[in-house]
Amino acid sequence: MSTLEKMKILTDSAQYDLCDYVSHHKSSQINLPGIYEAIGHNGCKIPLFKTLMTNKCKNDCKYCINQSKRNFTRLELSPEELARAFLGYYNRGLVNGLFLSSGISDDVDSTMEKQIETVSLLRKKYGYDDYIHLKVIPGASRDSIKRAMALANRVSINIEAATSSGLAELSSTKDYNKDILKRLSWINSLQHKSTTYPNSTHTTQLIIGANNETDKEILSRMEKIYKKSDLKRTYFSAFTPIEETEFKNKEACSTDRTSKLYNADTLINSYKYNVKELIFDESDKLSLTQDPKILAAKNMNIFPVEINSAPIRELIRVPGIGVKSAHEIVSIRKKKPFTHKEQLQELGVITNRADPYIKINGEYQTTFNF
Ligand code: SF4
């Protein structure tokens, strides 16, 4: 089978991994295998080459197209083949970086070695110095993670679930604490120690709706991880049933659910909310229709807060005020108090959302009754 034919299959299998600023939609503009359109932090589109090294896998994740029990043609790209294929795209200006993941071909260590060899070839043999995101395999050795982090701008390990029992519903071959959480803590402790990429970051991903975990369990796990680590962000992949897998008849997860999980996760990660401040229904699920920040605010007894004196912790809990604008408010009011809401609008505050929750210089902005 030619490299291009292998790439078509392996890059297609990589679509379920969300990464960095990458959306999981394939590019509609460039019709070549493996090019995924990424959305940068400023909203611009960035093409990345995203692929698996192999679709062989020893694990039995019940939702996954590559799980060990499925019977189909397994194939693998060699490190040299993959490095050259990627450079073929990069040198033509078709992509700006590489996202490399893999199933487990023989064992975890040899799979990690193949991934490391690929990025090592790119860095050392071919002088490539742009973006690389490498997916760490559950159960990888500390030494291999360290070497991967010396070569990649970003690494990540998918925690997949929020609890051991939740992972056990998905797979019988991965140990949640040993293979995943322990590796996540190693990644965290090795972060910033790389002399090559001292600013490297790490992320993770969960699959949502494939097991019985509640939103509260998922967000509680993320709260614990954010408190203990520098994890940059979390991706929530909405479960979709795939033919010929054990979960083929399971209901798909709605993207409304993952969208609300993203909103709530931002409150925990960036706004430093505690999970107990968020509002869940009797089944520990977030509302699918209401914004978690507004729902939380309606249940807090701190409002309305005075813009000229409220602590930052309270300002960022006002709907319509973001972390950046809250800090700007604090810095500006030290020099001169705010007197009208147009000054807040200039900072990006969405005042028609914030009005019921604030006073400016003692003045209520609305007659909204709490
Ligand atoms: S480890 Fe699980 S999710 Fe990853 S490729 Fe193997 S079976 Fe699929």
Q: How far is the CA of 11 from the centre of ligand 1 (A)?
A: 14
What mean pLDDT is predicted for residues 243-272?
Answer: 95
Which ligand 1 atom sits closest to the C-alpha of 57?
A: 6
pLDDT of residue 352: 93
pLDDT of residue 93: 92
Of 31-40, 104-113, 285-294, the range with the lowest mean pLDDT is 31-40
Q: How far is the CA of 198 from the centre of ligand 1 (A)?
A: 29
258-315 pLDDT per residue, tens: 999 999 999 999 999 999 999 999 999 999 999 999 999 999 999 999 999 999 999 9
Tell me, using a 6 A CB cutoff, whether residue 57 lines ligand 1: yes
Q: How far is the CA of 350 from the centre of ligand 1 (A)?
A: 43
Q: How far is the CA of 51 from the centre of ligand 1 (A)?
A: 14
Please check the confidence at residue 369 and state whether its pLDDT lies above 80: no
In this prediction, residue 125 has a pLDDT band, given cuts at 50, 70 and 90, of very high
Tell me, using a 6 A CB cutoff, whether residue 349 lines ligand 1: no
In this prediction, residue 368 has a pLDDT band, given cuts at 50, 70 and 90, of low
**Tokens coding 318:** 């006002």
pLDDT of residue 11: 77
Q: How far is the CA of 330 from the centre of ligand 1 (A)?
A: 47
Tell me, using a 6 A CB cutoff, whether residue 61 lines ligand 1: yes
Tell me, using a 6 A CB cutoff, whether residue 103 lines ligand 1: yes
What mean pLDDT is predicted for residues 159-182?
Answer: 96
Task: Compute the chain's Rg from CA coordinates.
Answer: 23
Ligand 1 pocket check: which of 13, 57, 205, 247 to mutate, most ligand atoms within 8 Å of Cβ?
Answer: 57
Q: Could you tell me which residue, 345 or 65, shows the higher pLDDT?
A: 345
pLDDT of residue 22: 42
Q: How far is the CA of 60 from the centre of ligand 1 (A)?
A: 7
Which ligand 1 atom sits closest to the C-alpha of 103?
A: 5
131-150 pLDDT per residue, tens: 999 999 999 999 999 999 99
Please check the confidence at residue 357 and state whether its pLDDT lies above 80: yes
Closest residue by CA, ligand 1 atom 5: 103
Ligand 1 pocket check: which of 13, 15, 64, 239 to mutate, most ligand atoms within 8 Å of Cβ?
Answer: 64
Q: How far is the CA of 111 from the centre of ligand 1 (A)?
A: 13
Measured CA to CA, the distance from residue 149 to residue 214 in angstroms comes to 33
154 contacts 203 by C-beta, under 8 angstroms: yes
In this prediction, residue 28 has a pLDDT band, given cuts at 50, 70 and 90, of very low
**Tokens coding 76:** 């693998």
37-75 pLDDT per residue, tens: 766 666 677 789 999 999 999 999 999 988 888 888 889
What mean pLDDT is predicted for residues 81-102?
Answer: 94
Measured CA to CA, the distance from residue 181 to residue 188 in angstroms comes to 11
Nearest to 164, CA basis, from 172, 152, 154, 155: 172
Question: One-letter amino acid identity for 144?
Answer: S
Q: What percent of the chain has pLDDT over 70?
A: 91
Which ligand 1 atom sits closest to the C-alpha of 55?
A: 5
Query: How far is CA 312 from each of CA 16, 55, 337, rounded to the nearest angstrom?
Result: 38, 48, 15
In this prediction, residue 201 has a pLDDT band, given cuts at 50, 70 and 90, of confident
Please check the confidence at residue 27 and state whether its pLDDT lies above 60: no
pLDDT of residue 57: 92
Summary mean pLDDT of the chain: 90
Q: How far is the CA of 337 from the centre of ligand 1 (A)?
A: 56
